[in-house]
């Protein structure tokens, strides 16, 4: 799977199958990261939202008040050692 922000629709991220290029879902977030267990982690509406690969929200956690107005970036830290 591939997660990519949509340059045509601001505030949307597309989830696509790499082998076919087929868009399987769109989630309402500008920043998204493909996490483990076939989930997509995104930031939307002052919350961190976990979506399934069909674009359905699975879990939503509000961000602390001092973070919801800042620009946040999702990513993964590389292991050290």
pLDDT per position as a tens digit, 20-56: 888 888 888 877 888 878 888 888 778 889 999 888 9
Is residue 58 over pLDDT 90? yes
Residue 78 lies in a domain: no
Residue 77 lies in a domain: no
Q: What is the domain count for the chain?
A: 1
Residue 79 lies in a domain: no
Per-residue pLDDT band for 13 (boundaries 50, 70, 90) equals confident
Residues spanned by the domain of 14 = 2-62
Joined together, the tokens standing for residue 24 give 């399987």
């Amino acid at each position: 799977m591939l997660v990519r922000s949509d340059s045509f629709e601001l505030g949307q991220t597309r989830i696509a199958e790499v082998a076919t290029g087929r868009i399987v879902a769109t989630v309402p977030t500008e920043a998204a990261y493909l996490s483990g267990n076939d989930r997509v982690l995104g930031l939307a509406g002052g919350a961190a939202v976990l979506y399934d690969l069909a674009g359905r929200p699975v879990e939503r956690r509000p961000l602390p008040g001092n973070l919801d107005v800042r620009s946040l970036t999702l990513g993964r830290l590389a292991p050290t050692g």
